[in-house]
């Protein structure tokens, strides 16, 4: 087919794969010569610690993209172009050096990303170049799903019903890449290519390799193959952090090393064949779309409650709140499931979804601390940090968000522990100091008989902290605190 443009630069961002990549497909189908670039954006990187698993994951995934481009390109020497600096400057200078007609990228609806993209668009316009963006990161985005009144959905269940009614093979089909790969071009002389080492961009290695978290599209494929062998049990196993019940694909979805269309296609096909586990997993993928459309239509949620009335809540502040927040961050609350969950996120950058709800509820409704404090901590720690999902989850837990849990629903951390880690497998893994306690005492060590504690070699206050709050008392304080939103929509 005839190509409309002589040359195109494809800017990879949240789509670090070659297979089923909407932006790459667009570039290859409109350009006679195509190059791919990734920018280590210093606006994003500079605030991060020098050891950050996400940066290492990205770097390793890019190495796989680089090798894949070399394999795909019919012309020898096809490589990934990688730049380090402010994205606006790097993209525009590279576009000028290559002399491209257009830059193509996938959509990114985070407010900061939209502002960045508008700056890039304007800078490219001044150069006489176009900037195109396409949907890739979700199945349905922005205003593709609206109510009959033409408004965005504010409740998940009708959104899910509309999602399932609209989705079909067209929306889940893969974008073919290999058949168009002849357009991939080697970099011209003088244009540097290849993926830098971590040290070259100012970062150091983390424990990512020891965690055995596979990166790149190949890593995502391995995890997906493993998960599909147990997906039928997902609805029964997903809430138990001590079991291998989830997909562990969240970081791959975040950075686009796997296509959301591929995952939704697998889930939909298996759900249609009667798998309740696949249907439950598909629902989780739909939640992800839901939170992205909430962010698109209501960008104020980045800094404020989705429901403004909830910003009237008076959160705890001062030295006591700060010390309790530090105890929560460091896993020193005296509630084993909460502390084990925080140890998990601190050591691995991952936290099981059930535990995200438990620790968020504890911070907000047991400690009375503003949900934004927890949201920011998760943003620093999570390998799979995604603004839309993280914000949606924290606002759900604090009852301030779109279709959130009722404000008067307050998780009991001990009851959650007994229900979802009954044999203490998860707690013992991350709190080895409690490993010798019998199951009956493990979930509430401070209430164990002295002889039981002594037999396990534990002294409360020395080997494990006493609870920093009494849950029953904290619950009453929370009901009083939230009274200001009674009747609020």
pLDDT per position as a tens digit, 133-163: 999 999 999 999 999 999 999 999 999 999 9
Specify the CATH number for the domain of residue 19.
3.40.50.620
Specify the CATH number for the domain of residue 339.
1.10.579.10
Distance of CA 482 to the CA centre of its chain: 29
Identify the bridge partners of residue 31 per DSSP, sorted by sequence position.
5
Is 382 a member of any domain? yes
Give the tokens for residue 265. Answer: 């296609």
* Distance (Å, whole) CA 444 – CA 262: 43
Is 302 a member of any domain? no
Looking at the fold, whether 313 and 443 belong to one and the same domain comes out as yes
pLDDT of 327 reads: 98
Q: Give the tens place of pLDDT for each residue, 67-80.
A: 999 999 877 899 99
| Region 359-368 average pLDDT | 97
pLDDT of 392 reads: 96
Specify the CATH number for the domain of residue 148.
1.25.40.80
Task: Compute the Cα dihedral for 281, 286, 290, 291 and give only its sign.
Answer: positive
Identify the bridge partners of residue 103 per DSSP, sorted by sequence position.
9, 131
Looking at the fold, whether 150 and 28 belong to one and the same domain comes out as no
Is 191 a member of any domain? no
In three-state secondary structure terms, 189 is coil
Full-model pTM:
0.96
Name the pLDDT band for 489 (thresholds 50, 70, 90).
low
Looking at the fold, whether 399 and 446 belong to one and the same domain comes out as yes
Q: Is the pLDDT of residue 217 over 80?
A: yes
Q: Give the tens place of pLDDT for each residue, 272-311.
A: 999 999 999 999 999 999 999 999 999 999 999 999 999 9
Phi, psi of 262, deg, nearest 5: -65, -45
Q: Considering only CA atoms, which of 101, 109, 186, 115 is closest in space to residue 152?
A: 109
Looking at the fold, whether 455 and 317 belong to one and the same domain comes out as yes
Name the pLDDT band for 120 (thresholds 50, 70, 90).
very high
Looking at the fold, whether 326 and 470 belong to one and the same domain comes out as yes
Are residues 91 and 243 in contact, defined by beta-carbon separation less than 8 angstroms? no
Name the pLDDT band for 487 (thresholds 50, 70, 90).
low
pLDDT of 403 reads: 78
- Choosing from 297, 318, 335, the residue where a domain stops is 297
Looking at the fold, whether 388 and 451 belong to one and the same domain comes out as yes
| Total domains, the chain | 3
**β-pair type (80-85, 130-134):** unpaired
Looking at the fold, whether 122 and 227 belong to one and the same domain comes out as no
The 10 Å CB-count burial string (b at 16+, else e) for 377-415 is bbeebbbbbbbbbbbbbbbbbbbbbbbbeebeebbbbbe
Q: Give the tens place of pLDDT for each residue, 235-269.
A: 999 999 999 999 999 999 999 999 999 999 999 99
Task: Compute the Cα dihedral for 379, 380, 382, 386 and give only its sign.
Answer: positive
* Distance (Å, whole) CA 303 – CA 324: 22
To 10 degrees, the CA torsion angle through 311, 316, 322, 323?
-150
Is 195 a member of any domain? no
With a pLDDT cut of 70, the percent of the chain lying above it is: 99
Is 375 a member of any domain? yes
Looking at the fold, whether 68 and 166 belong to one and the same domain comes out as no
Give the tokens for residue 409. Answer: 């629903």
- Choosing from 234, 267, 297, the residue where a domain stops is 297
Looking at the fold, whether 154 and 101 belong to one and the same domain comes out as no
Are residues 234 and 277 in contact, defined by beta-carbon separation less than 8 angstroms? yes
Q: Is 130 exposed, middle or buried (0-12, 13-18, 19+ CB in 10 A)?
A: middle
| Region 16-25 average pLDDT | 98
Looking at the fold, whether 154 and 293 belong to one and the same domain comes out as yes
Q: Domain containing 281: what range?
A: 138-173+217-297
Looking at the fold, whether 89 and 57 belong to one and the same domain comes out as yes
Q: Is the pLDDT of residue 13 over 60?
A: yes
Catalytic sites, residue numbers: 284, 287, 315, 353, 371, 394
Q: Give the tens place of pLDDT for each residue, 417-466.
A: 999 999 999 999 999 999 999 999 999 999 999 999 999 999 999 999 99
Name the pLDDT band for 407 (thresholds 50, 70, 90).
confident
Looking at the fold, whether 48 and 108 belong to one and the same domain comes out as yes
Q: Is the pLDDT of residue 128 over 80?
A: yes
- Choosing from 269, 297, 325, the residue where a domain stops is 297
């Amino acid at each position: 087919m005839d190509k409309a443009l002589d040359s195109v630069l494809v800017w990879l961002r949240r789509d670090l794969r070659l297979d089923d990549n909407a932006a790459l497909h667009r570039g290859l189908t409109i350009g006679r010569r195509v190059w791919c670039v990734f920018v280590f954006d210093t606006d994003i990187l500079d605030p991060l610690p020098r050891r950050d698993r996400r940066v290492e994951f990205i770097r390793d995934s890019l190495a796989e993209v680089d090798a894949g481009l070399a394999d795909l390109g019919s012309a020898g020497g096809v490589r990934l172009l990688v730049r380090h600096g402010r994205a606006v400057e790097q993209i525009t200078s590279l576009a000028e050096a290559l002399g491209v007609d257009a830059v193509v990228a996938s959509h990114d609806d985070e407010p900061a990303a939209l502002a960045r993209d508008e700056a890039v668009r304007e800078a490219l316009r001044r150069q006489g170049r176009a900037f195109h963006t396409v949907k890739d990161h979700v199945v349905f985005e922005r205003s593709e799903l609206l109510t009959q009144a033409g408004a965005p959905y504010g409740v998940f269940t009708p959104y899910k019903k509309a999602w399932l009614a609209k989705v079909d093979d067209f929306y889940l089909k893969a974008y073919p890449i290999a058949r168009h790969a002849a357009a991939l071009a080697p970099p011209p002389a003088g244009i540097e290519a290849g993926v830098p080492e971590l040290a070259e961009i100012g970062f150091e290695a983390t424990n990512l390799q020891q965690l055995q978290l596979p990166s790149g599209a190949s890593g995502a494929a391995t995890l997906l193959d493993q998960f599909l062998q147990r997906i039928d049990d997902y609805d029964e196993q997903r809430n138990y952090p001590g079991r291998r019940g989830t997909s562990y694909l969240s970081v791959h979805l975040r950075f686009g090393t796997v296509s959301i269309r591929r995952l939704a296609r697998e889930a939909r096909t298996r759900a249609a064949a009667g798998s309740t586990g696949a249907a439950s997993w598909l629902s989780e993928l739909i939640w992800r779309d839901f939170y992205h459309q909430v962010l698109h239509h209501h960008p104020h949620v980045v800094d404020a409650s989705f429901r403004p009335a909830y910003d009237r809540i008076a959160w705890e502040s001062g030295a006591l709140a700060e010390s309790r927040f530090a105890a929560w961050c460091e896993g020193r609350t005296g509630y084993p499931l909460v502390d084990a969950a925080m140890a998990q996120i601190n050591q691995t950058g991952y936290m099981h979804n059930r535990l995200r709800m438990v620790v968020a509820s504890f911070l907000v409704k047991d400690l009375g601390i503003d949900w934004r404090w927890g949201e920011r901590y998760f943003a620093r720690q999570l390998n799979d940090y995604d603004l839309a999902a993280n914000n949606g989850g924290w606002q759900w837990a604090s009852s301030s968000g779109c279709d959130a849990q009722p404000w008067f629903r307050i998780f009991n951390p001990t009851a959650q522990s007994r229900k979802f880690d009954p044999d203490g497998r998860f707690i013992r893994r991350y709190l080895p100091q409690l490993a010798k306690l019998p199951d009956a005492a493990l979930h509430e060590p401070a209430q164990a008989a002295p002889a039981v504690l002594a037999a396990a070699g534990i002294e409360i206050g020395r080997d494990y902290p006493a609870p920093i709050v009494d849950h029953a008392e904290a619950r009453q304080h929370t009901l009083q605190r939230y009274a200001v939103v009674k009747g609020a929509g």
